[in-house]
Amino acid sequence: MKGDFAKYLPHVLPSIFSMATISPKMGVSGTDAMHELSDVLNEIKPAEAAEKKTSIVTDEIEEKEVAIAMLAVFVDELGESYIEYVPQTAQVLLNLTKFTANDSIRTTTVSALPGLIRCIKIKQGNVASQEMFNIARQYNINIFDAMKEETETECLCSQVSAIREILLECGPGFLSQEEVTEFGNSALRIIEKSLGRIKELESIKDEEVEDEDDALDQEDLALLKEEGKNEYDLQLCAAELLGSLFKHHQQFVGDIVNKLRTETLKDAFSSGVQKRLKFGLFVLDDMVEHLGPNYFAQDAYMMIVQTVC
């Protein structure tokens, strides 16, 4: 019924767009006026909490997230039958990638964007076009800007994965040398910052406290473990982004490959940490698959293959 459902979209979508664009309101004690929730949070957030965004759940926010999820389902399931509504859907989603009040909405929103590119591509007979490239570039710029402000690791994973999916949909010829370098360096910075956060988590676990009441309980330790897992997942997402660059833009990745081999991978394999070894093998496997033996000197390629095997 996928394509057949498209005829109902004019009757269904207006209410969904209305739900997705609702602006949750919030009052502050001592005032009579109601203000947009995101604006209130920006005003009352203490300076010491600047490194983390506050995630609020209200009935309005839940409705908003459900509407965004519904739009994503329509895009994925209807494909080219949804093409008429791609511009309006994109406008809604692109305005929510920095939604301050709730991290789930940011995650759901950014995860839906690659589906719009897929929808355009299907309509064009699964062939990329310059018009599609221009739209994809607009989405990537928006996501890239959102990443600069993002503080939640799970949201960062979704943002990196969304860019990767868009790059894969667009295929060869999409990115310039400058853009490949920017995305590659961004992936490397994400990995470096993630490793720094993991060190901070480890230092919190090892910190000695004078008062027993301040000691970490099992719930605290479980939370730290989960945050550490999310960081390693983020590093694998960054590795997948690098793999998408290797796959479709081999001619532009020389500097990135060199930095990976001389710094990032060397550190990963010497760390002795299982999850970092997994990351290193992941990257090397993509090098073997997408760059191939002709990209490297013979001895260097054989060393990579032996490490993977």
pLDDT in tens, 247-286: 999 999 999 999 999 999 999 999 999 999 999 999 999 9
pTM of structure: 0.87
pLDDT in the model for residue 51: 58
Q: What are the φ/ψ torsions at residue 26 (nearest 5 degrees)?
A: -150, 140
Q: What is the pLDDT of residue 86?
A: 96
Average pLDDT over residues 58-62: 86
The neighbouring-strand residues paired with 25 are: 36
Express each pLDDT in 84-137 by its tens digit: 999 999 999 999 999 988 999 999 999 999 999 999 999 999 999 999 999 999
Instruction: Say whether pLDDT at 29 is over 50.
Output: no
- What pLDDT shows up at residue 256? 96
Determine contact, residues 230/190, Cβ cutoff 8 Å: no
Distance of CA 10 to the CA centre of its chain: 31
Euclidean distance between CA atoms 288 and 293, whole angstroms: 7
- DSSP structure class, residue 95: T
Region 42-55: mean pLDDT is 52
pLDDT band at 79 (very low <50, low <70, confident <90, very high): confident
For the chain, the maximum distance between any two Cα atoms, rounded to a whole number of angstroms, is 73
Tally Cβ neighbours within 10 Å of residue 129.
Answer: 13
Query: pLDDT at residue 160 above 50?
Result: yes
Instruction: Return d(Cα 126, Cα 92) in angstroms, integer.
Output: 25
Cβ distance 71 to 16 under 8 Å? Answer: yes
Give the pLDDT confidence score for residue 221 in this predicted structure.
81
239: confidence class by pLDDT, cuts 50, 70, 90: very high
209: confidence class by pLDDT, cuts 50, 70, 90: low
> pLDDT band at 211, cuts 50/70/90?
low
Quote the CA–CA distance of 216 and 237 in Å, as a whole number. Answer: 30
Burial 280-309 (b: 16+ CB within 10 A, else e): bbbbbbbbbebbeeebbeeeebeebeeebe
Answer yes or no: is pLDDT of 36 > 70: no
